[in-house]
Amino acid sequence: DTGVSQNPRHKITKRGQNVTFRCDPISEHNRLYWYRQTLGQGPEFLTYFQNEAQLEKSRLLSDRFSAERPKGSFSTLEIQRTEQGDSAMYLCASSLVGGPETQYFGPGTRLLVL
């Protein structure tokens, strides 16, 4: 399967704990995006990378959130000191600069903070 993959698919944690999610984009794609989706709403942009450079961060991305893409391939999204309001689906997408703008989404990681 050459699509976008995300791990884990589900995560349940207690308030105050740290969590980390991983995204593996389509192999030749140089752009990688993180979105957050809550029930009944569309995905909301969090941040994106071109290769290893983080080019934009949304105001939604508080100081407790950090994303990395150290080698320009996979990416991690870490949430520190989780809060109940962080409960959501975290989606990753990738695209190819210079090719079609199409963003291909992974299956998401569903986070529940108790």
Give the whole-angstrom CA distance, residue 72 versus residue 65. 19
CB of residue 1 to other proteins, shortest distance in Å: 13
DSSP state of 35: E
- Give whichever of 43 and 65 is closer to other proteins, judged by the CB atom: 43
Please, what is the minimum distance in Å from the beta carbon of residue 8 to other proteins? 14
Is residue 33 exposed (0-12), middle (13-18) or buried (19+ Cβ within 10 Å)? Answer: buried
Give whichever of 68 and 110 is closer to other proteins, judged by the CB atom. Answer: 110
Tell me whether residue 80 or residue 96 sits nearer to other proteins (CB atom): 96
